[in-house]
Amino acid sequence: FAEAPAGKEGQTRYMTEAGQEVLCSYGPVPVGNRQWILASQVGVNTALKPVRRLSWFILGISLLVIALL
């Protein structure tokens, strides 16, 4: 988050205090004459669940096609 006060946006991956691995996106938000930092985080498992599901689906279809050949 150190780059956000300088006006830069970014993404990072870290462990929360509760031990959950999260993906985080952050950036500066001008509010009047001040600059706030807005950060949004989501658990890695939640964020990557659709990707894992698609990977298993593609693997299953690939194995089915190989079995039929």
**Residue 31 is encoded by which pair of tokens?**
């509010």
- Report DSSP letters for 36-59, one per residue: EEEEEEEEHHHHHHHHHHHHHHHH
pLDDT score of 7: 83
Instruction: Pick the closest to residue 37 from 9, 63, 58, 64 (CA basis).
Output: 9
Q: What is the pLDDT of residues 11-68, one digit of tens each?
A: 999 999 999 999 999 999 989 999 899 999 999 999 999 999 999 999 999 999 999 9
pLDDT tens digits, residue range 48-59?
999 999 999 999
